[in-house]
Structure 1
Amino acid sequence: MQKVIAAAGVASRRVAENLIVEGRVTVNGEVVDALGRRVDPATDEIAVDGLPVQIDSSRRYVLLNKPTGMVSSLQDERGRRDLSEYVDRYEERLFNVGRLDAETSGLLLLTNDGDLAHVLAHPSFGVAKTYIAKVHGNVNPAVVQRLLEGVDLEDGPIAADKVRLIESSRGESLVEVTLHSGRNRIVRRMFEAVDHPVIELVRRSFGPLQLGSLPIGKTRELSKVELGGLLRMAREAKGTAQDDADEESTD
């Protein structure tokens, strides 16, 4: 197990051995404090200090600050700028998790981890996303309340999880919105419904991932802490889904 932890880049083999002896490593949720435990990277789930570790070295996770004017597909049939210019840089066959419309910039995750991508992109798991919207008009507290209480759209009602007015002056406003819906162009449609059309839109966070200071059009690989946060969220979501399925089967 210490060799696997070291190969995952978490710590040197000697440090990994110390972590195990100190009881800071779990395998499939159980503390393992004896050296020599054999693990299977394909099936076993290892965590260090409660943070999951990706022990499959073939998996890659890349954060992109997608520029405007680029579609969220690997090959666009209409010849528009697409994600191929980023994914083609890697040996692994990467794909995007979820989508951002062409005129929205910001955080987009590229990976070859299909299981993780399924959890993150599936609406039933409700991954939270935070956006900064620059909109027409001076947004007031009443508009913020409407977004929190919910607005009616053609495909059903929708309410934001959080809304924070950052700035409002000279006929424009900056608003931070957090929601877990993955519906198409949902933030733009919500602001249109309250008569404040979007001028610019940036996704700043996706689950535990933060865009930070990454420049537009640039990529970086996830840190071990970021990846651990993603894996933990995915495992918890799958566990919740399994519990729900077990409850339904016993009804």
Structure 2
Amino acid sequence: MRSSGSGKSGGRGNYRGAGNNRDQKQGPGRPRKPRPEERRYDVGPGAGKDGPKSGRGKPKASSKASPKGGRGRTAPARSREYEARIEERNRERYAGKKQVKLPKTFPGAEQEGERLQKVLARAGYGSRRACEELIDQARVEVNGEIVLEQGRRVDPEKDEIKVDGLTVATQSYQFFALNKPAGVVSTMEDPEGRQCLGDYVTNRETRLFHVGRLDTETEGIILLTNHGELAHRLTHPRYGVRKTYLAHIVGPIPRDLGKRLKDGIQLEDGYARADHFRVVDQTGKNYLVEVTLHEGRKHIVRRMLAEAGFPVDKLVRTAFGPITLGDQKSGWLRRLTNTEVGMLMKEVDL
């Protein structure tokens, strides 16, 4: 029977026992690893001769994540003096170098004014991209010169800008057309408390005024704006802006009525002439006639037809220059389009 104390042929049950010779097999000169029961835990803060005050005595792992590939080691923090020396050295290094100038985002950026496409977009000609397409199509001109390049800078208050030959109202101007009902007074305020034009624009931020007048009992289109020069020219006889009316009269009417009106009707304040006359509709003795003239005297259409022997039962103004009433309902207010504003300005050389 083999002895259990044999080193080579013995079982492995006594490997961790006190009698084995593991420590001697490590060779001379090599430090002996302490056994678990011989290890000391009296390291770290709070440790004494008898071991740590609490816990197992192992140092806690740092809560900060270690960098990739590292083993939890962190670089030592730089002192403020060291950072100051680095900053001073960098200043000395770049002190003699020229300052780098950044390139402009587009040609002409150093000029004053606004970009043309931005001005057009604000005036209501669509998005900036759509306004850039107008420029690419050579439809925009500034001060009589067609603009072909993008990024052109303009002064909206000084430069004359046109799209398709029509002037652009680039400032904060407003233009409206109202289908005035019968019984509404053609004033912005009425001291007698009657319904007036101002009742239709009370919620506007800017003050508007009417272009010309209509009789209280006359219906139809009347313009409202805050563009003083345009309103003045539209009503001045020099520019001869035409107005068109539909009048209901009772006949029969002679064939030469139109010629008489075009030749001129003598009134108490001078002759009044129509530019155009035609019969639109007839039902028995009831006639609907159209009269166009460029004068703006008070009750001019009613007085002319009454002097010719045909008093007017109902009168509607259907057009003021190039602006027509169309299917706009009575009492409705609408904003003029950019094209309509341009046509009005072209009519009076603006």
Normalising by the residue count of structure 1, what TM-score does the alignment of the two structures yield? 0.89
- Look up the equivalent residue of 1:176 and give its one-letter code: E
Measured after TM superposition, the shift of residue 96 of structure 1 is 0.4
In structure 2, what is the Cα distance between the partners aligned to 1:165 and 1:154? Answer: 27
1:67-116, CA deviations, whole angstroms, 9 ceiling, x for partnerless residues? 11111001123332211211212112111000001010000001111111
In structure 1, what is the Cα distance between the partners aligned to 2:269 and 2:320? Answer: 23
Structure 2 residue 350 is the aligned partner of structure 1 residue 220: no
In structure 2, what is the Cα distance between the partners aligned to 1:78 and 1:171? Answer: 39
Measured after TM superposition, the shift of residue 152 of structure 1 is 0.5
Structure 2 residue 232 is the aligned partner of structure 1 residue 118: yes
Q: Secondary structure at the match of 2:238?
A: helix
Partner of 2:302: 188
In structure 2, what is the Cα distance between the partners aligned to 1:86 and 1:43? Answer: 33
Partner of 2:50: none
1:221-240, CA deviations, whole angstroms, 9 ceiling, x for partnerless residues? 11122112112223x2x5xx
Measured after TM superposition, the shift of residue 218 of structure 1 is 0.8
In structure 2, what is the Cα distance between the partners aligned to 1:15 and 1:172? Answer: 51
Structure 2 residue 185 is the aligned partner of structure 1 residue 66: no
Gaps of 5+ in 1: 239-251
Normalising by the residue count of structure 2, what TM-score does the alignment of the two structures yield? 0.65
Q: Secondary structure at the match of 1:131?
A: strand
**More deviation, 10-19/102-111:** 10-19
Partner of 1:243: none
Of 103, 112, 122, the residue aligned with 2:217 is: 103
In structure 2, what is the Cα distance between the partners aligned to 1:70 and 1:28? Answer: 42
Measured after TM superposition, the shift of residue 37 of structure 1 is 1.9
Measured after TM superposition, the shift of residue 125 of structure 1 is 1.3
Partner of 1:78: 192
- Look up the equivalent residue of 1:90 and give its one-letter code: R
- Look up the equivalent residue of 1:142 and give its one-letter code: D
Partner of 1:89: 203
Of 101, 108, 122, the residue aligned with 1:7 is: 122
Gaps of 5+ in 2: 1-115
Q: Secondary structure at the match of 2:154?
A: coil
In structure 2, what is the Cα distance between the partners aligned to 1:194 and 1:185? Answer: 14
Q: Secondary structure at the match of 1:109?
A: strand
In structure 1, what is the Cα distance between the partners aligned to 2:321 and 2:225? Answer: 15
In structure 2, what is the Cα distance between the partners aligned to 1:137 and 1:18? Answer: 56
Q: Is the 8 A contact 1:163 1:178 kept in 2?
A: yes
In structure 2, what is the Cα distance between the partners aligned to 1:201 and 1:138? Answer: 18
Task: State the aligned residue count.
Answer: 235
Partner of 1:138: 252
Q: Which has the higher contact order (CA 8 A, sep 6+)?
A: 1
Q: Secondary structure at the match of 2:153?
A: coil
In structure 2, what is the Cα distance between the partners aligned to 1:23 and 1:215? Answer: 38
Partner of 1:45: 160
Measured after TM superposition, the shift of residue 49 of structure 1 is 1.8
**Which structure's residues are more often strand, by fraction?**
1
Measured after TM superposition, the shift of residue 15 of structure 1 is 2.4
Partner of 2:311: 197
- Look up the equivalent residue of 1:46 and give its one-letter code: I
In structure 1, what is the Cα distance between the partners aligned to 2:256 and 2:282? Answer: 13
**Which structure's residues are more often helix, by fraction?**
1
Partner of 1:166: 280
Q: Secondary structure at the match of 2:234?
A: helix
Q: Is the 8 A contact 1:67 1:106 kept in 2?
A: yes
In structure 2, what is the Cα distance between the partners aligned to 1:78 and 1:216? Answer: 23
Q: Percent identity?
A: 50
Measured after TM superposition, the shift of residue 12 of structure 1 is 1.8
Measured after TM superposition, the shift of residue 33 of structure 1 is 1.3
In structure 2, what is the Cα distance between the partners aligned to 1:204 and 1:161? Answer: 15
Q: Secondary structure at the match of 2:249?
A: strand
Q: Is the 8 A contact 1:51 1:228 kept in 2?
A: yes
Q: Secondary structure at the match of 2:313?
A: strand
Measured after TM superposition, the shift of residue 165 of structure 1 is 0.9
In structure 1, what is the Cα distance between the partners aligned to 2:141 and 2:252? Answer: 52
Q: CA RMSD in A?
A: 1.4
